[in-house]
Amino acid sequence: MLVLERLIGHRGASAYAPENTLMAFEKARDLGCRFLEFDVMLSADGEAFVFHDDTLNRTTNGRGDFGLATTEYLQSLDAGRWFSKRFRGEKIPLLQEALEWLVSSNVQANIEIKPYPGTTEQTTIAVLTQLNRYWPHDRDLPLLSSFDLDALRLCRSLAPEMPLGLLFDKWQDSWLQIAQDLNCYSVHLNRRALTKARVGEIKQHDYKVCVYTVNRKRQAAKLFEWGVDAIFSDYPDLLS
- Say if CB 186 and CB 165 are below 8 A apart: yes
The CATH superfamily assigned to 7-233 is: Phosphatidylinositol (PI) phosphodiesterase (3.20.20.190)
What residues are labeled active site? Answer: 10, 52
Model pTM score: 0.97
Q: Which residues of the chain have pLDDT under 70?
A: none
Distances (CA, A) of 54 to 63, 84, 88, 167: 11, 22, 22, 18
Residues β-bridged to residue 49: 41, 94
How high is the pLDDT of residue 1? 87
Please report the DSSP string for 115-131 in residue order: PPTT-HHHHHHHHHHHH
